[in-house]
Structure 1
Amino acid sequence: MPHLTTTSEAEISVYSRFTYPAVRIILGLVATLLWGSAFPMVKMGYQALAIDHSQTFRELLFAGYRFSCAGAFLLILSTIWQRQTWHFSRDKLIRIIKVGSFQTLLQYIFFYLGLALTTGISSAIVSSSSTFFQLIIAHFLFSDDRLNRRTIGSALIGFCGIAFYHVMAHGWRLHLGTGEALMLIAMFFGAYGNILSKRNISTHLPVLMLTAWQMFLGGICLITIGASQVGLAPFQWSVSATLIFIYLSAISAFAFLIWNTLMAHNQVGEISIFLFLIPIFGVTLSALVLHEPLHNYVLIALALVVIGIILANRSEKTKG
């Protein structure tokens, strides 16, 4: 039986380009822009399908359909582009299940449970913890990716940008309760899933196949959980709802593919800082798409995040 092969020399040569600072920054911006665009599109999708934020199992079902379709799309793409079979060994299946359990399944179960019990303000700030979780986990798992003054400083500057925006928009009110605790757990699982992806892509699995299978299997699990309470077909699909769903599935596929590729071929400290851009892009695109208010202080918050990104990706001078 044919099996998935590990990353070939040709693929390594292609993927080495992802370590170039300019490529790294551009793709980091693209991935976070795609994820940021999900903010207004998810809101529009919920409106089109009549999903309320208190309906957690409907949200899980919708997310499951979204991620399983994204994974299926990447599986088809990998078959056409890389001409790889879908057969794999038991060891590779276990690795895919581990990544999918954290990067998709557990992260989004706790995310939606927490979202139902907290405000958008608190959840956006708490979600910024993902960057710090990734930096801390990488510090202990990768000998060449230790915490240093540059990574810590860039992360703190980026977080200051997010915190500044929310203080200006909503004051100093931040309630830390059950919902926020669940969101923190979700961010930890997502961060750990990203690190697991980096470890397995680097040594065992091609990035496209790992991303495709973990999203597909994680999505199927989310569908199973959601359908256990609301059934498989609680939604009334209109043309607009279908188009929104296709868009959300596509951005999930490409954003995760780009992100996992960047994580696999760069240090965590150079990439994690980009996550601070997601709420900034989300606010900006929500203003453009949903006509929500957009204030000047968003630019200051964006500037702080950009400074953090530049600091994290600045080339270190060789010490003589």
Structure 2
Amino acid sequence: MPNTAPLHLRLPVSFYLQVVICAALWGSAFPVIKNSYAELSLNHYGEQLIFAGSRFFLAGLFVLPFCRGKVLPKLKQAPRGPLIAIVLGQTYFQYVFFYYGLNVSTGTLAALLVGAGSFWWMLLAPLILKTAPPRPVHWVLLACCSLGIACAVYQPGSDLQNAGLGAAAFLAASFSGAMAATFMKKVAPVSGSRTPTAFSLSTGGLLLLLTAAPFWTQYIASFNLTTLLVTLYLAFVSATAFTLWNRLIEHYSINVLASFRFLIPLMGILESTLFIPGENLRPGLVIGAAVVLSCLVISSRVKEAPLEGRLIRP
């Protein structure tokens, strides 16, 4: 008889540990970045992009020593199109949109909407990796997730224009990240996961720095020890979380990992509420978060087809 045990019972303890570490680290980034805007006087979007670019460039350098073998030969072996997609999706466009969203909206909303990228994965994987398309139940869950997002965004008496812009930016960021993660499945078997991760973080960081070049003088003038320490911490978060997560992408199917992404919005909402002054769990946000997280959990229980349910070993 075929093994009908739930997928999550067949995963090793190390898998759960790495997923929890990634979720906790990424969750901590939301309040740290949002609080840094005020504490470091990063009032302009251009300065915030320099802040982001510095973080990711350093993160790429942090990962570089852990790349096995020679970096350049591995990058030359990687398929060019997917590698460029990883650089632009994982680091550049994802954080152009993400930092703009944080500039006009809240950390809790960021955690909720970026974490909903599991559904982007479901839509992109069949197109790029030729996996099984989503089942009808997933379209129902996707519609419910959209209602939950609308509920989370709405706040009586608030500036709905800013909330809408923030929501659009976060959804675009999650789409970019999902695109990069999907293409990582094409690159990792050839070059491993660490080398393209280091290349993506450092190159994407440089692109962000170049994009915000007119604001370098203003940013350097206000640079201090606190800015350095916060940048180093966020670089550590990115280096560790992306290395672990891309390593998981290398060894497990996209559908397996999409099932566990609900931990990211859960940790992000919790940590943003605890550590960002003035961000409270409004009724709309609580209901919206409950709907989105419930959809993600339900999705993790029903979506595995027999072939996609197997672990992909190197």
TM-score by length of 1: 0.73
Match of 1:28 among 19, 22, 29: 19
Per-residue Cα deviation, 1:100-126 (whole angstroms, up to 9, x for no partner): 11211122223334554x433765665
Say whether residues 1:46 and 2:31 are aligned partners: no
| Count of paired positions | 291
Question: Does the CA contact (< 8 Å) of 2:116 and 2:265 recur in 1?
Answer: no
Per-residue Cα deviation, 1:216-268 (whole angstroms, up to 9, x for no partner): 11111111111244348525343333222211111111111122122233332
Give the structure 2 partner of residue 136 of structure 1: 123
Per-residue Cα deviation, 1:191-218 (whole angstroms, up to 9, x for no partner): 21111112211x3111111111111111
Give the structure 2 partner of residue 238 of structure 1: 224
Structure 2 residue runs of 5 or longer lacking an equivalent are 1-9, 307-314
Say whether residues 1:76 and 2:65 are aligned partners: yes
Match of 1:252 among 231, 238, 242: 238
Match of 2:71 among 77, 86, 92: 86
Structure 2 vs 1, CA of residues 204 and 171 (structure 1 numbering), >3 Å: closer, same or farther? Answer: farther
Give the RMSD, CA atoms, in angstroms: 3.7
**Structure 1 range deviating more: 185-194 or 88-97:** 88-97
Structure 2 vs 1, CA of residues 93 and 242 (structure 1 numbering), >3 Å: closer, same or farther? Answer: farther
SS at match of 1:51: coil
Give the structure 2 partner of residue 98 of structure 1: 85
Say whether residues 1:262 and 2:248 are aligned partners: yes
Question: Does the CA contact (< 8 Å) of 1:48 and 1:238 recur in 2?
Answer: no
Say whether residues 1:212 and 2:203 are aligned partners: no
1:63 to partner: Cα distance: 0.5
Structure 2 vs 1, CA of residues 183 and 152 (structure 1 numbering), >3 Å: closer, same or farther? Answer: same
Structure 2 vs 1, CA of residues 158 and 259 (structure 1 numbering), >3 Å: closer, same or farther? Answer: farther
TM-score by length of 2: 0.74
Structure 2 vs 1, CA of residues 146 and 100 (structure 1 numbering), >3 Å: closer, same or farther? Answer: same
Say whether residues 1:60 and 2:49 are aligned partners: yes
Question: Does the CA contact (< 8 Å) of 1:145 and 1:267 recur in 2?
Answer: no
Question: Does the CA contact (< 8 Å) of 1:155 and 1:273 recur in 2?
Answer: no
SS at match of 1:50: coil
Give the structure 2 partner of residue 278 of structure 1: 264
